[in-house]
Structure 1
């Protein structure tokens, strides 16, 4: 439904910005490369780049941190830089396994608790927001998050493109039958494209949990997060920028307060991480990609009042008549 978005004090509608701090080993693990087992990290390289871009625009965002990275001392300096700059720290699971929907309730409790412990020790913040790796989500996960006192989940990607992205990973990776079965819901299913685009409440067992979806293009439900924009930029930077600007305009038209997602590879080129050259857009240099990110963020800031996901969720939580949904697997 079209209409006016709720403006903030500066006269702009609200938006949020987050970054999933997936590390090199996490991409190698999802790709089926055994080199992940030594936990190679690019955080010392990419975090200063990210913080510089954000600081120039005075943006405070949510950074979803993987617990395993927080557990490793050689990542602590980079993680402390993020927290020290004032950014919200979210939980992106302990082991970054996109098959959390297959976990038992006890396993999920342990996964979250251990991730929280390492993240809090490394950053000084206890996460109140969660995003599943590969947008993995289940009713059991939502129940556990609510019981553990989380204010919001941000794992929903309401898009029809998930199976296509999953097919690409299967085509380029090295997976056996068991691994393919575990990854059978990586990036979601076709029916995820029917989920609400605006924030909503999960209701269950007399309690609730706020869902803050990663925004997709209103109407056509294709991704607009920056990794997708980078993919388009591989064909034409002008096309990529026009696409992102049109998506933001359409969000305004349909009264959608966008929650935009960044990834570390939006700031890194193939020269920075040679083992990840298989990933889309890694043919571009880090400098080229940062220029694209900066133009997109400037467009976002021009049109919206950009906050962390936690701040955005706190405002949304005060609103009446939010859509409600019952979780199911």
Structure 2
């Protein structure tokens, strides 16, 4: 059986990083607020075009509403064969703590905005901050999504996030991010159908879950932040550890191809360490990793991966 791989990019704009790090959004001028769509999206498209592989963008509805450049970019991406999926409307890190009707309204509004921008309603969803619960999963079922890609059962990531949030609270600059339930660490690391009452457990839910890549045993995360900053030897080891998996879900963010010279305020660069790595170096690293995927896997959008995997999961 041919292995399948997907490359997806969460288009979190810089205001969301200010919220993560407890920084005022007033640090950002208009250009900085739009950097992900104005600069990162074209860079990812150039990478994919050069290697001849498709990709999936997870767009935030309110960004497409407020920024004509963002909406036009997603329309052009869709027309070029790139999947545009939903990353919610407001990218509210506390979305799972909202009432069920508020959750459903947020997702429905994101769907409407993406439909208006691209002409196609999204069939995939990724939760803000990777945080999933029964009410959010129920909303994805109500809206008829084909797949979700929110489960991130990565122990090192979970521990690091808890440490950072704790440190920010101690210095009086609390993060607006949310720490997920520890149950996520026991979630399957391969595609599965969730239990609607506990989406981090196998069940019979209608929306297929495509977890992001983590290695067996240690569950080390193979995502853009680490792929662009860790030694290449470590990444090769993680890639080899995942070779038995039928599906490899490589998740990145727009900032994974940006650096300080793109016009990001120094206060944010100091907090977001990967922004200190040059964009050219990051792009070269990603070009190599995408090449690994292309040489050993059939690289498809997450929509197409879900279609292929649905009957067998």
Q: TM-score, normalised by structure 1?
A: 0.84
Q: Partner residue of 1:315?
A: 308
Residue 125 of structure 2, aligned match among 104, 126, 130: 130
1:187-233 deviations in Å (ceiling 9; x for gaps)? x344322211110002449852211100111221011112112232x
Contact 2:4 2:246 in 1 (8 A): no
**When the two structures are superposed, what TM-score results if normalisation uses the length of structure 2?**
0.88
Q: CA deviation at 1:34?
A: 2.7
- For 2:84, the equivalent position in structure 1 comes to 89
Q: Name which of 220, 223, 235 aligns with 1:222.
A: 220
SS of equivalent residue, structure 2 residue 136: helix
Question: Per-residue CA shift, 1:242-268, capped at 9, x if unaligned?
Answer: 222222222123x34211111111111
Q: Is the 8 A contact 2:74 2:84 kept in 1?
A: no
Structure 1 residue 117: Cα displacement: 1.1
Distance change (3 Å), C-alpha of 1:104 and 1:208: same
1:97–1:302 distance in 2 versus 1, CA, 3 Å? same
**What's the counterpart of residue 297 of structure 2?**
304
Aligned equivalents of 2:293, 2:79: Cα separation in 1: 24
Q: How far did residue 15 of structure 1 move? A: 1.4
Q: Please give the alpha-carbon distance, in whole angstroms, between the structure 2 residues aligned to 1:314 and 1:175.
A: 47
Q: 1:204 to 1:24 in 2, by over 3 A?
A: closer
Q: Which position in structure 2 is the counterpart of 1:55?
A: 49
Find the residue that maps to 1:106 and give its secondary structure: helix
Distance 1:171 1:229 in 2: 25
RMSD, aligned CA: 2.3
Tell me the CA shift for residue 173 of structure 1: 7.9
Q: Distance in 1 between matches of 2:170 and 2:70?
A: 28
1:64 is paired with a residue whose SS is strand
CA distance in 2, matches of 1:127, 1:210: 14
Q: 1:166 to 1:80 in 2, by over 3 A?
A: farther
Q: Which residue of 1 aligns with 2:163?
A: 167
Please name the residue that 1:268 is paired with.
Answer: 258
Secondary structure of the corresponding residue to residue 17 of structure 1: strand
Gaps of 5+ in 1: 1-5, 8-12, 233-238, 323-329
1:25 is the counterpart of 2:15: yes
Question: Which ranges in structure 2 are unaligned for 5 or more consecutive residues?
Answer: 198-203
Question: When you count helix as a share of all residues, which structure comes out higher?
Answer: 2
Count, aligned residues: 298
Between the aligned partners of 2:7 and 2:93, the Cα distance in structure 1 is 22
TM-superposition CA deviations, 1:168-192 (whole Å, max 9, x none)? 2553589869x65x6341xx34432
